[in-house]
Each structure stands twice: as structure tokens, then as C-alpha cells.
Amino acid sequence: MEFGPILRSLRYRNGIGIKKLAPELGVTYGYLSKLENAEAQPSEEFVHRVASYFNYDSSELLLAAGRVPPDVVEILRNHPHDALDYLRTRFGKGRTEQDG
């Protein structure tokens, strides 16, 4: 699922309107509307604010926003072959020709 629908769902589940939530997150309601409608991409810092506000897993929100959590980037940098092999094995994807 993408960031916008998750944000909208969190708002609805918590019974909070977009105009009330915006100032609490330090943005305009127009920006929140754009996020919810996939017309804008949030910064990593904003994703963390949303996660904190709704007590939601920030790693899941980062992925939904098209960003890779910093700890995962570190794993991929430090152990690229092991990480790729694990992911491909776990999720059933074979090696590509480029991998050698």
C-alpha cells in the first residue's frame, strides 16, 4: 500500500479531519490532501512525524512512501550479496543475468 492511502486510513480511524491534522503535523491541509492523493511525496522527516503522531511503524511508512529505511540501506551496503540472495530465496526470485 502507498503512503497516501495509509495516511488517509490513519486519519479516518482516529476520527481526525485533514484541517485539524495539518497544523498538528506542521503542514497545510492542501499538502496533506496532495499526499493522500499521491500528488506529492513526503520527506523522510515528515514520514517520521506521521509515524510518531499515529504511533505507527516508521519503517513501514517509509517503504510506503518509496523510501528505504536507513537501517535497511546499511544492511544492503554492508552485505549486498547476502541480502540480495536472502530476499530472492525468501520471495522466490532468481538471480538476474547482471548478478553473474
14-40, pLDDT tens digit by residue? 999 999 999 999 999 999 999 999 999
- The Cα–Cα gap between 89 and 23 comes to 45
Tell me the domain boundaries of the chain.
Answer: 1-92
Is 60 exceeded by the pLDDT of residue 76? yes
Which triple of cell numbers denotes residue 56?
505507527
95 falls in which pLDDT band (50, 70, 90)? Answer: low
Q: 68 or 92: which carries more pLDDT confidence?
A: 68
Segments in the chain forming alpha helices (H): 3-13, 18-25, 29-36, 44-54, 58-64, 70-78, 80-91
Other beta carbons within 10 angstroms of residue 49's beta carbon come to 16
Is 90 exceeded by the pLDDT of residue 54? yes
What integer is the mean pLDDT of 38-44? 95
- The Cα–Cα gap between 23 and 53 comes to 12
For domain 1-92, is the CATH number 3.30.420.40?
no
What pLDDT is recorded for position 92? 82
- Ordered DSSP codes for 36-61: HTTSS---HHHHHHHHHHHT--HHHH
User: Between vectors from CA 2 to CA 41 and to CA 85, what angle results, nearest 5°?
Assistant: 105
pLDDT digits (tens, 9 = 90+) for 6-16: 999 999 999 99
Is 90 exceeded by the pLDDT of residue 64? yes
What integer is the mean pLDDT of 48-57? 97
What pLDDT is recorded for position 1? 84
Residues 6 or more apart in contact with residue 95 via CB below 8 angstroms: 88
**Contact (Cβ atoms closer than 8 angstroms) between residue 7 and residue 35:** yes
